[in-house]
Structure formats: structure tokens, C-alpha cells
């Protein structure tokens, strides 16, 4: 039998990255092999996002390219999955005649059956069925070789928060948490395969387990912290209203929990926060930030902010800038508001013009850049403990080096900052560096990364947390 190939394009968030891996494992059971060469594929799947208008445009333009390919390759099967598939359903088949399959966010367990039907009957299928009490897709172990140091692990799906701008509750469905045992087993399996860091994923991990009366999120973290061989634990995303005192103390008590929290504020104006249905005030948010810093002084805090939410005045936006100056985030994802079908804010009056949104976005990004640069500069001269991911992009792409013979590696600080660094090839067993913790002296700071030199010849395996634990 000839090998069949599939090509998988993932757009959107980390949860889609995780889902794509689970899609890939299932396709392998049908005899498909993954390829990075799109023109070789017999099956192309695009896992889509719809959180902002731009992501949706990206998916449609990619499907447009596929339509051209299919003219010369009639047997090519094209599947569209994920959040945009859930939102648009049948409309995708109508708008895009090249598409054979539209599968929603709760259909991964039915995917192989649908592909088989299309293979044999050349039919077109739409399955965007959603359950009121969604079930977690069965986790299937990937036996294909994979040398990644860091992996995502989905611990819950869906969202019950209904922020006014957000489409997620409508396209991902109701919040459901995964059984702790299943999560622990998956992480153990990853660690056995060489993974050293996991990032736990959920739309709002702070409410993990609450609805189904499982363990709480801090309790789950404590269990994961026990897994031998795992060095670092991260998680995303946290809704500020549900950030508990117990979770704050976990940053002090759990040695593997990285001192970084992504705590999206969305706006610095109480009036806008109310219109967004965020259920906290700026004051309550700042209070939690202060508590986090009191408990864990080194903690890095990052955030999401939407500019130009309907009705946002200059005064509201100024308050967002003020909040950013007060908190001094380590990093910020800033977005121009975009109307999403289903999201309640579509109906809100006083929409902000595109040029004004652009202008606000730019001033917010400019402000954050000065803060990030200042924070990064403050690290120059310090020694940071880096979990090595692998060779840096520059090294992989074979660009000439400016620093003699030393190889350039890449990894992250516990606070999630990217650090590229040189290792003297004679000083360490560089083959085994990926997955190891290395003490790196920071020599240079840029806007989005740091650069330094490895100081300890022997990489460490220990589950150390941050700078203060490492004796250079
Ligand atoms: N417009 C702009 N940004 C949005 N986000 C979510 N919905 C919208 C929207 N309609 C942003 C929020 C969220 C991040 C993932 O995307 O900041 O935290
Ligand atoms: Fe995009 Fe949100 Fe869906 Fe993730 S969950 S793919 S960010 S719409």
C-alpha cells in the first residue's frame, strides 16, 4: 500500500496546538504520515481560530490556496476544524466548494470515522455537534518520536464566563475539567519521553475542577509538582476574578511552579471592564497583583489588553495606559477590538473607528516596549537559570556567527523570558543540553529576548526554580 500523507496547519492558541497533536495521532491510525510538504499531501487539515477577525481571514486565505491546489489534484481531501469550523459550520461548505469536511471543537473522537467515509464515498461532511455537558476527547498517546522539552497539556475545555467581546463560550462550549488522574498520567508519560516542562491549558484554569467537584487547581498543581523528572510547571490562562489566595501561595510553596502568571486585565477602566462583563474592578485587579508580588517577589506578570472596545473614550484608554505604567508588565499582548459574530458586544453602540484603534494600539505597544526594555536591561549582569530548548533559530538556519566558535542555544528563564546563549563546546557535553537547566550570565538585553553566556560547564538536572537557587 502506498503511504498516504497529511499536512496540518494550526492557527490560533496553544489549545489548538494541543488539539492538532491529538488530530495527528488519530490520522496516524488511518495510515497517514505527517508531511511538511503541502504539495505531497493526500489530506490537508486546517485547525482554525475565530477569536479575532484576523485569525479568520488567515484561515479563509489558506483555504483559498488549497482550492487552487485541488484543481490539479482531485482526490485531495480538505478538512476544516477548530473554532471557525464550529462557528461557521455548513456555511464553509457553501462558500468553499473545495472543502470536504467541517468538524467542530467537540468532534475529535469522531474524526477518523468521518475521514474514512470521505475516502470511500467521496461525500462532504459537516459535524459541529456540541453537548451541553461536553466530554473530554480521549487522550491518545503519540508514539511518534518527538524531542520537545516543553509541551502543552489541556486540563479543561470551554468557558462559562461570557465576556462581552469573546466568542469562545459559543465555539468551545461549556466549561469542563479533565479528571486529575488522566492529566497526571499524560504528564508522567511525557516526562518518561524526555519532556521537562509542561504548560497546563484552560480558558480559565483558576476554576479548574470546581463545577465537577474534582480537586482544586492549586491541589492539582501540588500533585503535578511531585512528578519526578519534571522540572517546570506553567499554566495559562487565569481569569483575575478567580485567582484565589491558595493559588497565590502556590507560587511560594511549589518549587517547580514557574514564577510567571498571565493575568489578562483587558482594560484599565472600570466602566469598560463592566461593559466587558469581566466581574472585577481595576482596584481588585491591582490588589491581586500586589498580593502576588508580596508572596513571590520575582514573579513575572503578563497580560492581554483590548483597545477600542465599543464606547471606550480617550479617558478610559488613558486609564489603561496608567494601569500598564503602575503594574509594569513583563510582557503584553495587545489587540484592537474586533466584532465577532455571537459575541454580545457586536450589539453595543459607539464602535471605535479603525484609525483610532490603531493609534491606541500603537501608543500602548510603545509604552510596553519601554517597560520591557527597562526590565530586560535590569537583568544584564545577573545569572539566570535557563531550561535549554535546543539550538537557537540562528544556529538552526546556519547563519554566520559573530562570536567565534561557540554554539548558540536557546531557552527560557523561569519567568518565561527567551534567552539565547553561547556555550563553550569544550566545556560541556552539548549533545545533552536540551532539557537541561543551565546557569547563564546575561550580557545583552533586547526588546523580545536576552543574550548571554553559559556559566556552568555541567548542566544541572535539578528541579530548581529561579535565580536565587542557582549558585554560579
Ligand atoms: N477583539 C479583540 N481581541 C479579543 N480577544 C478576545 N476577543 C477579542 C475580540 N473580539 C483577546 C482578549 C483575549 C485574547 C486571547 O484575545 O484579549 O484575552
Ligand atoms: Fe482561537 Fe480562542 Fe479557539 Fe483558541 S479557543 S483557537 S484562541 S478562538
Strands 407-412, 437-445: parallel, antiparallel or unpaired by DSSP?
unpaired
State the cell numbers at 149. Answer: 522539552
- Per the prediction, the chain carries an average pLDDT of 92
Long-range contacts of 58-65 (CB under 8 A, 24+ apart): 58/11, 59/11, 59/84, 60/96, 62/9, 62/11, 63/92, 63/96, 63/98, 63/99
Q: How far is CA 421 from CA 49, 259, 334, 404, 440, in A?
A: 34, 21, 28, 13, 7
- What pLDDT score does 434 carry? 94
Arithmetic mean of pLDDT, 347-357 = 98
Strands 4-10, 43-48: parallel, antiparallel or unpaired by DSSP?
parallel
Task: Please tell me the total number of residues recorded for the chain in this structure.
Answer: 472
Q: How far is CA 471 from CA 131, 196, 432, 435, 455, in A?
A: 53, 21, 21, 19, 10
Q: How confident is the model at residue 396 (pLDDT cuts 50, 70, 90)?
A: low
Cβ(99)–Cβ(64) below 8 Å: no
How do residues 56-69 score in pLDDT, each as one tens digit?
999 999 999 999 99
Q: Which of the pair, 138 or 331, is modelled with greater confidence?
A: 331
Q: What is the CA radius of gyration of the chain?
A: 23
Ligand 2 centroid vs 48 CA: distance in angstroms?
A: 8
Q: Which of the pair, 315 or 466, is modelled with greater confidence?
A: 315
Burial-class residue 455 by CB neighbours within 10 Å (0-12, 13-18, 19+): middle
- What pLDDT score does 331 carry? 97
Residue in the structure block whose three cell numbers are 531557552: 411
Kindly tell me if the per-residue pLDDT of 469 is higher than 60: no
- What pLDDT score does 141 carry? 83
Kindly tell me if the per-residue pLDDT of 52 is higher than 70: yes
Ligand 1 centroid vs 51 CA: distance in angstroms?
A: 6
Smallest Cα–Cα separation from 360: which of 331, 327, 337? 337
Ligand 2 centroid vs 167 CA: distance in angstroms?
A: 8
Kindly tell me if the per-residue pLDDT of 409 is higher than 80: yes
Arithmetic mean of pLDDT, 10-23 = 96
- What pLDDT score does 403 carry? 47
Which residues, including other chains, have CB under 8 Å from residue 469's CB and lie 6 or more apart? 385
Q: Pick from 168, 169, 264 the residue to mutate for probing ligand 2's pocket: most ligand atoms within 8 Å of its CB.
A: 168
Kindly tell me if the per-residue pLDDT of 466 is higher than 80: no
Ligand 2 centroid vs 53 CA: distance in angstroms?
A: 12
Cβ(76)–Cβ(42) below 8 Å: yes
Kindly tell me if the per-residue pLDDT of 183 is higher than 70: yes
Residue in the structure block whose three cell numbers are 537583568: 379
Task: Enumerate residues lining ligand 1, CB below 6 A.
Answer: 51-52, 165-166, 264, 266, 304, 306, 335, 337-338, 340, 343
Q: How confident is the model at residue 467 (pLDDT cuts 50, 70, 90)?
A: very low
- What pLDDT score does 470 carry? 29
Give me the helix-helix angle, 14-29 and 111-121, nearest 10°.
50
- What pLDDT score does 2 carry? 75
Kindly tell me if the per-residue pLDDT of 463 is higher than 50: no
β-bridge partners, 387 = 412, 437
CA distance 260 to 183: 21
pTM score, whole prediction: 0.93
Q: Pick from 13, 14, 49, 52 the residue to mutate for probing ligand 1's pocket: most ligand atoms within 8 Å of its CB.
A: 52
Arithmetic mean of pLDDT, 419-425 = 91
- What pLDDT score does 134 carry? 86
CA distance 445 to 470: 21
Smallest Cα–Cα separation from 207: which of 246, 171, 153? 246
Ligand 1 centroid vs 335 CA: distance in angstroms?
A: 7
CA 369 to chain centre: 21
Task: Enumerate residues lining ligand 2, CB below 6 A.
Answer: 12-13, 15-16, 49-51, 82-83, 168, 171-172
State the cell numbers at 280. Answer: 472585577
Kindly tell me if the per-residue pLDDT of 324 is higher than 80: yes
Locate the DSSP E strands across 310-449: 331-336, 383-391, 407-412, 418-423, 437-445
Measuring from atom 6 of ligand 2, which residue has the nearest CA?
49
- What pLDDT score does 405 carry? 57
Cβ(434)–Cβ(449) below 8 Å: no
Cβ(321)–Cβ(367) below 8 Å: yes
Cβ(27)–Cβ(115) below 8 Å: yes
Kindly tell me if the per-residue pLDDT of 459 is higher than 90: no
Amino acid at each position: 500500500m502506498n503511504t498516504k500523507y497529511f499536512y496540518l496547519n494550526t492557527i490560533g492558541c496553544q489549545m489548538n496546538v494541543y488539539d492538532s497533536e491529538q488530530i495527528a495521532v488519530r490520522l496516524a491510525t488511518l495510515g497517514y504520515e505527517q508531511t511538511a510538504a503541502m504539495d505531497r499531501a493526500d489530506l490537508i487539515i486546517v485547525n482554525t481560530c475565530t477569536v479575532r477577525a484576523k485569525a479568520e481571514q488567515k484561515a479563509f486565505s489558506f483555504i483559498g490556496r488549497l482550492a487552487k491546489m485541488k484543481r490539479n489534484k482531485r482526490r485531495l481531501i480538505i478538512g476544516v476544524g477548530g473554532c471557525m469550523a464550529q462557528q461557521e459550520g455548513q456555511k464553509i461548505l457553501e462558500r468553499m466548494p473545495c472543502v470536504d469536511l467541517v468538524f467542530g471543537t467537540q468532534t475529535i473522537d469522531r474524526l477518523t470515522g468521518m475521514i474514512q467515509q470521505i475516502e470511500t464515498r467521496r461525500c462532504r461532511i459537516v459535524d459541529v455537534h456540541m453537548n451541553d455537558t461536553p466530554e473530554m476527547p480521549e487522550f491518545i498517546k503519540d508514539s511518534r518520536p518527538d524531542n520537545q522539552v516543553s509541551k502543552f497539556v489541556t486540563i479543561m475545555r470551554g468557558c462559562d464566563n461570557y465576556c462581552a467581546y469573546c466568542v469562545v463560550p459559543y465555539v468551545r462550549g461549556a466549561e469542563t475539567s479533565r479528571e486529575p488522574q488522566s492529566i497526571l498520567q499524560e504528564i508522567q508519560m511525557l516526562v518518561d519521553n524526555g519532556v521537562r516542562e509542561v504548560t497546563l491549558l484552560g480558558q480559565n484554569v483558576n476554576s479548574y475542577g470546581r463545577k465537577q467537584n474534582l480537586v482544586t487547581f492549586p491541589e492539582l498543581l501540588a500533585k503535578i509538582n511531585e512528578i519526578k523528572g519534571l522540572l517546570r510547571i506553567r499554566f495559562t490562562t487565569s481569569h483575575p476574578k478567580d485567582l484565589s489566595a491558595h493559588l497565590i501561595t502556590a507560587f511560594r510553596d511549589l518549587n517547580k511552579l514557574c514564577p510567571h502568571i498571565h493575568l489578562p486585565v483587558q482594560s484599565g477602566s472600570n466602566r469598560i471592564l463592566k461593559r466587558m462583563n469581566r466581574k472585577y474592578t481595576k482596584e481588585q485587579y491591582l490588589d491581586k497583583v500586589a498580593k502576588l508580588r508580596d508572596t513571590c517577589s520575582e514573579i513575572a506578570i503578563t497580560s492581554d489588553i483590548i483597545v477600542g472596545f465599543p464606547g471606550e473614550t480617550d479617558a478610559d484608554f488613558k486609564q489603561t495606559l496608567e494601569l500598564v505604567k503602575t503594574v509594569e508588565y513583563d510582557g503584553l499582548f495587545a489587540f484592537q477590538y474586533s466584532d465577532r459574530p455571537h459575541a454580545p458586544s457586536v450589539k453595543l453602540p459607539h464602535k471605535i473607528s479603525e484609525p483610532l484603534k490603531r493609534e491606541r494600539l500603537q501608543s500602548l505597544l510603545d509604552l510596553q516596549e519601554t517597560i520591557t526594555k527597562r526590565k530586560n536591561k535590569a537583568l544584564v549582569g545577573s545569572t539566570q537559570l535557563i531550561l535549554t530548548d535546543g539550538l537557537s533559530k540562528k544556529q538552526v538556519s546556519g547563519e554566520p556567527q559573530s562570536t567565534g566558535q561557540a554554539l548558540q542555544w536557546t531557552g527560557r528563564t523561569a519567568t518565561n523570558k527567551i534567552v539565547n546563549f553561547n556555550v563553550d563546546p569544550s566545556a560541556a557535553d552539548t549533545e545533552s543540553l536540551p532539557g537541561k537547566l543551565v546557569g547563564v550570565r546575561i550580557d545583552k538585553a533586547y526588546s523580545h529576548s536576552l543574550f548571554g553566556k553559559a556559566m556552568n560547564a555541567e548542566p544541572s538536572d535539578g528541579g530548581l526554580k529561579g535565580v536565587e537557587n542557582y549558585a554560579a
